[in-house]
Amino acid sequence: MLRQKLASLLSFREPAIALVSTETGPREGYVFERLELEIEGAGRVRAFLTRPDRAGGPWPAILYAHSHGGRHEIGASELMDGRSYLLSPFGPLLARAGYITLCMDMPTFGDRDEVEESAAATAHIWYGTTLMGQMLSEEAAALTYLTSRADVDPNRIGAFGISLGSTLSYWHAALDLRIAAVAHLCCYADYATLVELGAHDNHGIYLLVPGMLRQTSTGEIAGMVAPRPQLICLGEDDELTPPLSIERALAVTRPMYARAGAPDALEVFLQAGVDHRETAEMHERVMAFFQRELRPGS
């Protein structure tokens, strides 16, 4: 029921997806693929994929949702080039660790940045849909592409992201039971509390979901992931996630994991003195989390 309610709020509907072309090249210790995917209603979309360069498989996979940071021209390139608030690019790192990782340009980002985010969000609202819903629908299609690959184990697919990518990852996991585990950084907060504190305008217009706070909350959305494993990493000095907003969101998410009989499947790491960025401690926890939950060596 909760999942259907969220899907309705977002106008979530997975579009058809097809692989148009692939350019493959070996790199140092891994293989890089540049993909062109045809998505129903969106046309051709750029995506990047990294995979292990050794015998074995099928491999566990991670659907990597890129961040925002006001840099619409970057998009999926983040997988290979990283960002200023990431310690290093995740694509090569995860491939060498035994994962296949896919990242696709979201609407208004990367090769799709010819449309302004505000224009896309406004058009969606006028039609009674949401930009966030389009992003999540396309992430579901990207997951379908991943499951279609012979080198991917469909039972071991996780989701990961920071900032915008964080929200996309755990909202997608709430909607899509195919995601076995989700880890996310720097974007988990109770939105009603953000409004109360006057901190809500720090978030992008992509996140406008009309009527959301009358129907649900981010704490409830994260709780829909239960009983599947979830790692939440946050800096206590991040203006996007003030401590009170984190506390109130967790007050909803934690009981939902308890009711699902899986309180220990929710791991929360709060780091004092840290703003909107990945730290070495967060990085270590993310890698250990996926190692434990997706078992890349098995």
Token couple for 206: 């992509």
Instruction: Give the tens place of pLDDT for each residue, 243-264.
Output: 999 999 999 999 999 999 999 9
Spatial separation of the C-alpha atoms in residues 10 and 247, rounded to whole Å:
25
pLDDT given at position 223: 98
pLDDT given at position 202: 84
DSSP H or E run through 52: strand 43-52
Helix ranges, the chain (H): 2-10, 78-81, 90-96, 117-127, 131-148, 164-175, 191-197, 212-215, 218-223, 243-259, 280-294
List C-alpha distances in Å: 240 to 96, 127, 194, 275. Answer: 32, 28, 8, 9
Contact partners, residue 28, CB within 8 Å, separation at least 6 = 92
Owning domain of residue 288: 2-294
Spatial separation of the C-alpha atoms in residues 219 and 239, rounded to whole Å:
18
Give the CATH number, domain containing residue 209: 3.40.50.1820
Instruction: Give the tens place of pLDDT for each residue, 6-28.
Output: 999 999 999 999 999 999 988 99
Instruction: Give the tens place of pLDDT for each residue, 162-220.
Output: 999 999 999 999 999 999 999 999 999 999 999 999 989 888 899 999 999 999 999 99
The amino acid sitting at 100 is: I
> At what angle are helices 164-175 and 131-148 packed, to 10 degrees?
70
Q: What sign does the CA torsion over 34, 181, 112, 137 have?
A: positive
List C-alpha distances in Å: 282 to 42, 69, 86, 278, 290. Answer: 34, 19, 10, 6, 12
Give the three-class secondary structure for 207: helix
Give the CA dihedral 206, 207, 210, 212, nearest 10 degrees.
Answer: 160
Q: Does 298 score more than 80 pLDDT?
A: no
Q: Does 102 score more than 90 pLDDT?
A: yes
Q: Look at residues 104, 94, 103 and name the one whose alpha carbon lies nearest to residue 52.
A: 94
How would you classify the pairing of strands 100-104 and 59-65? parallel
> Mean pLDDT score of the chain, rounded to an integer?
97
pTM: 0.97
Spatial separation of the C-alpha atoms in residues 244 and 35, rounded to whole Å:
42
Mean pLDDT computed over 156-167:
98
At residue 84's C-alpha, the angle toward residues 32 and 186, to 5°, is 95
Note whether 191 and 242 are within 8 A (CB). no
List C-alpha distances in Å: 268 to 203, 223, 230. Answer: 22, 13, 8
pLDDT given at position 55: 84
Number of domains in the chain: 1
Provide, rounded to the nearest whole percent, the portion of the chain with pLDDT above 70.
100
Token couple for 93: 């790192």
